[in-house]
């Protein structure tokens, strides 16, 4: 098991190998379909992309007293193309579920980045690892807005590494 | 004629949606635990552990199992001797509205293919009605997430493709979907009818009890064979490889044109949220 604290360095990326469990503690950022469409056009997003961790999630509304509602990963393939320019600008880790295109994997390796999966559908469990939530951008997108999440021991698995390996059996991979 | 008040429809729909979004059926949890015990490698086991721990946390805290609380799908079987004292569709949608607002469920419905403005109350539900004998209304209710729905399809096979053609199509579809529909999955298959009928058959097949038996011996055997062969594909929990890709295959059929063999494949994720209530 590997513990990571963002921002993520190139040396951190080298330690990540397919199938390993990773626990993240620190700040990660939420973004999915609509937020990606906008983020790629932003000259200066409200957070530093260098070494950033992006979590593909659209949570349920928080009840009173809760930090966040259920927060499991969404399918990553929808962000394949839009993730590339963000990796070119420094994003190092992306957390979602399911396999991704060949083009994405190539861009990931070229930019020294890595793809992690969190257990899909485990929204209540993953929410329990999120300790604080701050709205950063695109409030009008509702559940798709960009938030900074402070996480503690947020559980993921390395799905593609920079050595050309994949965790997946099945899927189309492009 | 038996009079049914619209408010009572709203109440049963709301109550059911709150329940299914927070807790899985006990029998389904047992199925998931059995699947976990079959896994041989640590990674697949660990993912099944997460899924099982998740339903426990969700149930205890009355939190949604999954952040994708879905689009609501309703099959309303209306007794022809029942009289609805109001608008059926409005009363169902009011139940959806109240459940998704008061239950802190995510509003996942947008208005238009391209405008994509959120309707902000998760309405409208997708409602299918049919007339049956009697004076009751039976609702089959599902909260259907997009991850698994997006991996579903309808294909018009040739009649000569036969049973082997159907098997190949289903297995290819499940394999190519990989981890995206959140396995362990349930596969609902609609065979026959036409384009839209096959899709409805597949959706309704997903709402059957996992441990029921198909009355058609050929289809019953096909369900069992496909379940075994899908699990031999090795896709595994969340696509990371393993023993259990699928925990149930359900096939519903209908007569069709001499020249057609429509096949609809509808995939359900492990957050198997459905219910049946009568009023």
In which residue ranges of chain B is pLDDT below 70? none
Q: In 3D, which of B226, B276, B242, B273 has the Cα closest to residue B72?
A: B273
Closest residue in A to B23 (Cα) is: A124
Distance CA B3, CA B84 (A): 6
- CB-based contacts of B112, cutoff 8 Å, min separation 6: none
Of B192, B101, B46, whose CA–CA distance to A167 is shortest?
Answer: B46
* C-beta neighbour count of A89 within 10 angstroms: 16
Nearest to B180 among A57, A99, A159 (CB): A99
CA distance A154 to B222: 41
Give the tens place of pLDDT for each residue, B209-242.
999 999 999 999 999 999 999 999 999 999 999 9
Which residues in B lie closer than 8 A to residue A62 (C-beta atoms)? 104
Q: Report the percent of chain A where pLDDT is more than 70.
A: 99
Burial class of residue B130, CB neighbours in 10 A (0-12, 13-18, 19+)? exposed
Rounded (5°) CA angle A68-A71-A72: 175
Inter-chain touch B43–A19, beta carbons under 8 Å:
yes
- Which residues touch B29 (CB under 8 Å, ≥6 apart)? B52, B55
Mean pLDDT of A76-97: 97
Nearest CA in chain B to A97: B180
How far is residue B128's CA from residue B47's CA, in Å, rounded to a whole number? Answer: 35
In percent, how much of chain A has pLDDT > 90? 94
What is the per-residue pLDDT across A50-67, written as a single tens digit (0 to 9) for each?
A: 999 999 999 999 999 999
Q: Any CB–CB contact under 8 A between B107 and chain A?
A: yes
CA distances from B223 to A39, B138, B227 (A): 46, 26, 6
Out of A57, A62, A170, the one facing B239 most closely (by C-beta) is A170
pLDDT (tens digit, 9 = 90+) per residue, A7-18?
A: 999 999 999 999
Query: pTM for the whole thing?
Result: 0.95
Q: Where are the beta strands (DSSP E) in chain B?
A: 2-4, 71-79, 82-84, 126-132, 137-144, 153-157, 185-193, 246-256, 261-268, 274-278
DSSP B75: E
pLDDT category at A172 given cuts 50, 70, 90 is confident
- Give pLDDT, residue A174: 44
Residue B271 near residue B66, CB atoms below 8 Å: yes
Catalytically active residues of A, by annotation = 36
The second-level CATH assignment, the architecture, of A2-160 is Alpha-Beta Barrel (3.20)
Q: Is B124 exposed, middle or buried (0-12, 13-18, 19+ CB in 10 A)?
A: middle
For strands B71-79 and B137-144, give the pairing. antiparallel
Q: Which residue of A has its CA nearest to B178?
A: A171
ipTM of this predicted structure:
0.94
A159 chain-B contacts, CB cut-off 8 A: 240
Q: How far apart are CA A38 and CA B275, in angstroms?
A: 39
- Please state, in angstroms and rounded to a whole number, the distance separating the CA atoms of residues A27 and A50: 13
CB contact under 8 A, A120 and B63: no
Closest by CA position to A111, among listed A166, A35, A51, A45: A51
B86 touches chain A (CB under 8 A): no
Q: Which of B217, B225, B219, B145 is nearest to B181 (CA)?
A: B145
Domain boundaries, chain A: 2-160
Mean pLDDT of A28-50: 95
Q: What is the mean pLDDT of residues A72-96?
A: 97
pLDDT of the residue at A116: 98
pLDDT number for residue A29: 98
Residues of A in contact with B20 (CB under 8 A): none
The chain-wide mean pLDDT, for chain A, equals: 96
Which residues in chain A are contacts of B116 at CB distance < 8 A? 34
Cross-strand partners of A24:
A4, A154
Do B51 and A122 count as a contact with CB atoms less than 8 A apart? yes
Q: How many CB atoms lie within 10 A of CB B52?
A: 18
The CA distance from B68 to A46, in Å, is: 26
CB neighbours of B2 closer than 8 A, spacing ≥ 6?
B79, B81, B82, B83, B135, B136
The CA distance from B12 to B207, in Å, is: 18
> What confidence score (pLDDT) does residue A173 get?
60
Nearest C-alpha in B relative to A117:
B238
């Amino acid at each position: 098991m590997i513990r990571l604290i963002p921002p993520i360095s190139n040396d951190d990326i080298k330690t990540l190998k397919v199938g390993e469990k990773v626990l993240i503690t620190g700040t990660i950022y939420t973004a999915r379909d609509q937020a990606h469409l906008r983020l790629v056009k932003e000259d200066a997003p409200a957070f530093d992309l260098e070494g950033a961790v992006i979590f593909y999630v659209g949570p349920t509304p928080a009840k009173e007293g809760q930090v966040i509602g259920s927060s499991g990963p969404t399918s990553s393939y929808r962000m394949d193309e839009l993730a590339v320019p963000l990796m070119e600008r420094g994003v190092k880790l992306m957390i979602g579920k399911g396999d991704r295109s060949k083009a994405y994997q190539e861009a990931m390796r070229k930019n020294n980045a890595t793809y992690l999966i969190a257990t899909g559908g485990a929204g209540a469990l993953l929410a329990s690892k999120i300790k604080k939530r701050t709205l950063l951008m695109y409030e009008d997108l509702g559940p798709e807005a960009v938030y900074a999440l402070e996480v503690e021991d947020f559980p993921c698995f390395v799905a593609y590494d920079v050595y050309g390996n994949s965790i997946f059996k099945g899927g189309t991979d492009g | 004629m038996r009079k049914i008040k619209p408010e009572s429809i709203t109440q049963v729909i709301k109550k059911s949606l709150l329940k299914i979004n927070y807790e899985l059926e006990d029998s389904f949890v047992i199925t998931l635990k059995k699947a976990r015990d079959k896994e041989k490698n640590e990674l697949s086991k660990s993912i099944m552990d997460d899924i099982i721990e998740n339903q426990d946390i969700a149930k205890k805290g009355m939190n949604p199992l999954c952040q994708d609380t879905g689009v609501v799908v309703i099959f309303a079987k209306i007794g022809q001797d029942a009289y609805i004292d109001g608008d059926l569709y409005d009363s169902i949608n009011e139940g959806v509205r109240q459940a998704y607002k008061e239950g802190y469920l995510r509003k996942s419905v947008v208005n238009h293919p391209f405008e994509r403005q959120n309707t902000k109350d998760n309405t409208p539900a997708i409602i299918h009605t049919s007339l049956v004998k009697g004076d009751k209304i039976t609702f089959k209710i599902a909260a259907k997430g997009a991850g698994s729905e997006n991996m579903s399809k309808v294909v018009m096979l040739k009649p000569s493709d036969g049973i082997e053609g159907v098997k190949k199509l289903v297995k290819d579809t499940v394999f190519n979907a990989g981890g995206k529909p959140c396995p362990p999955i349930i596969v609902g298959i609609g065979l026959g009818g036409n384009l839209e009928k096959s899709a409805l058959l597949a959706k309704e097949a997903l709402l059957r009890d996992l441990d029921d038996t198909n009355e058609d011996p050929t289809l019953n055997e096909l369900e069992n064979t496909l379940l075994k062969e899908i699990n031999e594909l090795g896709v595994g929990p969340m696509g990371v490889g393993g023993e259990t890709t699928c925990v149930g295959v359900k096939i519903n059929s209908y007569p069709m044109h001499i020249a057609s063999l429509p096949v609809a494949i509808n995939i359900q994720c492990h957050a198997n949220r459905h219910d049946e209530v009568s009023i």
